[in-house]
Structure 1
C-alpha cells in the first residue's frame, strides 16, 4: 500500500497546527473525558436525526434518504483514498500525545468528520425547513467533533480538510439529477421494506406510511 507523502509546506502546516491543537500530556482527566464524548459520542446523533426525519415522512424522509446515500458515497471515497494513499495517524509516527485508543489505519480523511459534514450539507440543501434546521445544528456539532479528534491525537488537521472536500463532493453528487433519481429509487425500495415490516403499527396510525 503506497504511503501518502504530502508536500513539505502542507506537512509543515499539518505538524504545526496539530501541535497547537493537541492536548498536552498533563491535561486534566475531566477535559480528556469531555473531549472523548465529543470525539466519539456526537456522531450517534446522525442516525437518530435521520431516523426521526424518516418517521416524519414527506420531504423530511426524502432528505434523510439523500443523506444516507451521500454518507455511503463519501465513505466509499474515504476507503478508496485510504487504500490508495495511506497516511499514518499522529500516534503511529510518535508525534504529539495520544489519549484515544484507535486502530493504526490511515488517518486521511476523517470518517467521523466526513459522516457528520456530509449529512449536515445534504440536509442544508433540503427544500423543507425542518431538515435545514437539523443540518445547521449538525454542522455546528461537527466542529467540536473535529477539534476533539485532533485534541486527543487521532487525526491531523488536514484529515479534517480532506473530510470537508469529500463531503462537499458527495453532497453535490447526490444532489445532481442522476443522484436524485437514484435516491428516489432507493427511497421507494426502503419504503416498501418499511411498510412490510411495520405494517401493523402503520395501520394503527402509530407510524406514518
Structure 2
C-alpha cells in the first residue's frame, strides 16, 4: 500500500517524458542550485545579527549536520530505488543510481527551516520561511525531475523535524551557545 501511494503521487507530480526547454532548465536549477541559498542565509544571520541570532544560526547548522548524518545512515541501511531506476521516469538530473530515501537536499533545507522556526533568530524571526519554502520547492523539483519519490521528501522532512526538535532543547542550545562564543572570538 505504501509503495502504491508513493507511485501514484509520483505519477501526479512527475515531468512528462518529452519535457525540454525553459521548464526543464528552471526545475533543474531549483533542484540543484537552490540548496546553496541556505548556507548564505546562515552566513547572513551570523554577519548581520547579534549573539542570540548567531546562536540560532549555529543551532540550525548543527541540526542540519545531524539530520544529514541520520539521512546518510538510513540511506546506507535501507535501499530504495529511484524513479528512473524503476523505469517510471527519465533521469533528468543525471543522478547516480543510489538509494533515494531520504532526499539529502530536502533534509538539509527542512532541518534549517525547522531549526529556525523552533529557535528563531530574535532579529530575524521569519528567517525559517526561506529554507522551509526552498525545502518544499526543491523537494517538488527533485520528484518532478525523477530523482525522488514523494515519500523520500516526506522522510527527509521527518528526519529534519526530529533533528531540529533535538537541537531546540536546552542542553543542545547550550552547545550552540558555547560554539557561538568560540566562533565570535575566532572571527
**TM-score (normalised: structure 2):** 0.93
Aligned in 2, Cα 1:102/1:15: closer, same or farther, shift over 3 Å?
same
Structure 2: runs of 5 or more not aligned: none
The answer (yes or no) to whether the contact 1:14–1:156 under 8 Å persists in 2 is yes
Deviation at 1:179, TM superposition (A): 1.1
Report the 3-state secondary structure (helix = DSSP H, G, I; strand = E; otherwise coil) of the residue aligned with 1:70: helix
CA contact (8 A) 1:114 1:164 kept: yes
User: Compared with structure 1, are the counterparts of its residues 78 and 127 closer, same or farther at alpha carbon in structure 2 (3 Å cutoff)?
Assistant: closer
CA distance in 2, matches of 1:144, 1:127: 21
Deviations 1:22-45 (A, max 9, x none): 111122321000001111111111
Query: Residue 162 of structure 1: CA displacement?
Result: 0.2
User: Aligned-pair distance for 1:140?
Assistant: 1.9
Partner of 1:207: none
Shift of 1:142: 2.0
> Counterpart in 2 of 1:168?
161
Q: Does 1:78 align with 2:71?
A: yes
Alignment match, 1:201: none
Structure 1 runs not aligned, ≥5 long: 1-8, 195-209
**Aligned pair partner of 2:175 in 167, 175, 182:** 182
Change (3 A) 1:185 1:58: closer
Structure 1 window deviating more from structure 2 (22-31 vs 67-76): it is 22-31
1:87 maps to which of 73, 80, 85: 80
2:77 is aligned with 1:55:
no
| Contact 2:58–2:180 (8 Å) recurs in 1 | yes
Q: Which of the pair has the greater relative contact order for Cα pairs under 8 Å at 6+ separation?
A: 2
Larger Rg: 1 or 2? Answer: 1
Aligned length: 186
Q: Which residue of 1 aligns with 2:126?
A: 133
Name which of structure 1's ranges 43-52 and 178-187 shifts more when overlaid on structure 2: 178-187
CA contact (8 A) 1:124 1:131 kept: no
- The structure-2 alpha-carbon separation of the partners of 1:14 and 1:182, relative to structure 1 and needing over 3 Å to count, comes to same
The corresponding residue for 2:107 is 114
